[in-house]
Amino acid sequence: MKRRTFVLWAALGFALGMSSCRSDALRGLGETCTAATECAQGLLCDFQMNPPTCQGQGTPVPDAPIMIDAPPGTPDAPPTPDAPTPQPDAPLPPPDAAPVPDA
């Protein structure tokens, strides 16, 4: 009986000790995080930030600048020729010989 009591108290103490390491407080907007599960509802851990922080919809990425390939008024390059026309298939072989009638 004493052994069972000891095991019960040891398990209870271990469970309480482990639960004290866990924080139920979720992180708010702008707080640092290491996983999305640490952030409050509706927030995600944005790993594009340094350090990663809880954000609403991630860090906005700016659009790429428009690339100008030639100054205005420059004529377009001549079109590239199409692929050569394919060669026709080989002619079909003659049909099989007619069956020989039975005698």
Contact 43, 29 (CB under 8 A): yes
Let me know if 53 is exposed, middle or buried by CB neighbors in 10 A (0-12, 13-18, 19+). Answer: buried
Give the CB-side neighbour count of residue 80, counting CA atoms within 13 A.
2
**Structure tokens that stand for 91 in this block:** 């002619």
Average pLDDT over the chain, rounded to an integer: 76
pTM here?
Answer: 0.35
State pLDDT tens for residues 1-51. 677 776 666 666 666 555 545 456 899 988 999 998 999 988 889 888 889
Q: Alpha-carbon distance 17 to 12, whole Å? A: 9
